[in-house]
Each structure stands twice: as structure tokens, then as C-alpha cells.
Amino acid sequence: MALFGTDGVRGLANRDLTAEVALDLAVAAAHVLSEKGAFAGHINERPKAIVGQDSRASGEFLEAAVVAGLASAGVDVYRVGVLPTPAIAHLVAESGADLGVMLSASHNAMPDNGIKFFAKGGGKLDDALEAAIEARLKEPWERPIGADVGRVVLDESAQERYIFHLLSSLSTPLTGLKIVVDCANGAASRVAPKTYVRAGADVTAIHSTPSGLNINENCGSTHMESLIAKVKEVGADLGIAHDGDADRCLAVDHEGNLVDGDFIMAILAAAWKAEGRLAQDTVVGTVMSNLGFIKAMQSLGINVPTTAVGDRYVLEKMIAEDYVLGGEQSGHVIMRNFANTGDGILTALQLMAVVVTSGKSLKDLSSIMKRFPQSLINVENVKKDKLTDSKKIAEGISKHEQSLGASGRILVRPSGTEALVRVMVEAESNDQAEKIASEIASLVRSELQ
């Protein structure tokens, strides 16, 4: 079974993802990237890596292992501490570093952790590079000694440089905007409130006191209840929710209505098209993008090519076709004019800028699209790798697709990050979506046990 999933390596920390695995991955990554020419030009100096983490307790020993692996392979390591995943991508590009490593399991529960690699320039590694790294684990190698080993430095300026980058994306201050931000007790806990305040907003921060054990615990973008309650309590104009590593952004309007990634992209795409800065009048979505989003964009003359789930695939499409906006319903939004990866804080800033410049509420802006009712069921404890082999599942899906016609959509896929199969159905009514999703989920469960 492949070690790398949709977004790096992820698993139960100290069981699946151990210090030994982290160290070996770091060494293998250093070797593969060196051979691929990523470290070209380093004649009289060693290659350089940026290493960061979210607020999980396990990140402490995993970071130590990654740092040890890189330094032992002759790489100078700059530790930046607890920062969002997109901060690592930015810092790699900004500093000219050869490699970035982020220790995070994003929205997963605290016991999990993960390792994400960034190549020179700040982009995520492609599938071929990940496969090459995995193939090189535990191979014999000649270790540098003496002055040739890597050095380890604590980079105390990293947070401030990242905040400066975020604020430089704004062309208008957020003065007068009252917001609540849910930091998920994660990587955004210090950076997000500070950034929004400096942008001019009146900020109330919740779940911004990470303990190492409380990341994503009934908070953040996967648990919106407390954000909705706080927005109503303080009379805020809107609320922003981040996940554990802050590469996602979801929002709620002043009434507490959810504004997910599809709504956010629709709002940004429409505003950018009106301003003449939406390249080729196109926004890139995924196969999970809501049908309502696609229809709304089409009505505005905006194209929506789709990719597999995962912001890396969205970015690949954007780079290949030179598009500037794309993302996922889950809140990963990529804006290539400002960054080369999904950035939740950057997304929130741009969304709030549209609110300010338009003079409209987030609720009014969200009326740009009507969300098709969607039912999503995660089928756990099944042999997800056998999904494509089942003719009965394929026939069951086809039957329901015919009944839905153009008024709905079905997507059944194995998760790239968890041991389950996701069943998603969109239809004209909740009852219809839930009924079809339940029937397909039952079929998947019975066929893949």
C-alpha cells in the first residue's frame, strides 16, 4: 500500500507515523530532490530546508526527527515553529529554500499527524517525486561527516514575514468590518487574529489557545457550531473558520448561514471577472464542486473545468492552463496571483475585501449561487482499493444516475487520506439525495466488506 496519500503522508502519530518513519522520509526526500536537480547550484553551500508544524503534541517529536534526518543528510534546516501550511510554502519560495516540510494532519483529529513536502519554489511534490522518495526509504547511503553535516537554525522572523506577505495582497483596508475567527486551536491561532487586526478589522478570536491536545476538537472548519453562535452573540458581520493547519477557510454570514468553498470561489470569481482579472474567465473546481456552483458560474459566462479531489491537482490544472483561481468546496482556495498553494488566511482576506468594496453583506454576496442539496456518507472499514473492481456497485450507481438525469450528480470515491469510501449525491431535494446516498452506501458496505 502506498505511503503517500492525496496530501502527503498521514496516519496515527507514533503508531503509523513514527519518528523512525519521519527521519527516513526526510533523508530519502533530501536524496531524491538532490538527484532531481532541486539542489543544483549549491557548489560552496549546503541545500536549505524550511520545517514547520501545527500545534499537535506529536509534532514536537516528529519535527525533531525530520530535522535530524535532513541535517544528517547535509541539509541546513530553518525551524519556523507553529505556522500554517501555506506559510511554509511561501517561506520556501521567498527564501529560495530547496525544500519545505510541514508536520500536520490538517483537519484530522489530534492523535493523527502528517508530513507534507514542498519543492523548490513552494509547490507540492508531484506523484512521481513522492513515489521516488518512498522507493528510497531505508536504502544504504554515504553519510556526510564533520563540517559537511547540516546546521539547524531557529528562524524567529518567519511569522512576521508571512504576515507581511498576507497583508500585501490587500488593496483595501478592512476598516469597519466586525468579524469572528475560529482558529481551531491550530496553526492559525497566533497568525490569523494578528493579521486580521492589522488589516483593519474588529476581531474576536475563538479557539485560539492551543494546548497540543485540543486541535480541531469541536472547533474549526469541521465544527462550525461555536463560530455561528459567537457571530450571533457579538453581532459580527461574518465569521471565518480555519482548519488545523489553516490552509482552509470556511465562512458564515451575519445570520450564521454557511458559506463554503464553492460560495467563496463564486463570490471571488464574479468580483474578479467584473474587474477584468479573472484569467480566461475560468475558475477551476473539483469533482466534488457543487452542481449549483457550476451552474451559477456558467450563467455568468465563467468556465469551470474540474479535477480530482486535492488542491495539488487543482494547482496542476491552473499552472498548465494559466488560470488564477481555483479550489475545493472544503475551503481550499488557490489564488495564483498571490500564492502557489491554498491559504485559508489569504482566502479570508480576499473574501472580506469583496465585502468591503462591494458594500454588500456576505449573505447578499452568497445569493450568487443556490446550493444543490448534497448528501455525503463516509463508508468506513471497507476495502476501498477494491471499489473499481465491483460491477454491482458500478451498476447501482448507473441506475441512480439515469434517474437523476441533469438534475443531480453522484460521486463515489476512495478517500485519499483516510481508510474509507466517500459517497456523494446531489439532487433537487434533500430527501432524494439522502435516499440515493444511503442506498449506494449500503451497496458499497456489502460489496467491499
Catalytic residues: 106
SS3 of the chain: CCCEECCEEEEEECCCECHHHHHHHHHHHHHHHHHCCCCCCCCCCCCEEEEEECCCCHHHHHHHHHHHHHHHCCCEEEEEEECCHHHHHHHHHHHCCCEEEEECCCCCCCCEEEEEEEECCCCECCHHHHHHHHHCCCCCCCCCCHHHCCCEEECCCHHHHHHHHHHCCCCCCCCCCEEEEECCCCCCCCHHHHHHHHCCCEEEEECCCCCCCCCCCCCHHHCCHHHHHHHHHHCCCEEEECCCCCCCCEEEECCCCEECHHHHHHHHHHHHHHHCCCHHHECEEECCCCHHHHHHHHHCCCECCEECCCHHHHHHHHHHHCCCEEECCCCCEEECCCCCCCCHHHHHHHHHHHHHHHCCCHHHHHCCCCCCCEEEEEEECCCHHHHHHCHHHHHHHHHHHHHHHHHCEEEEEECCCCCEEEEEEECCCHHHHHHHHHHHHHHHHHHCC
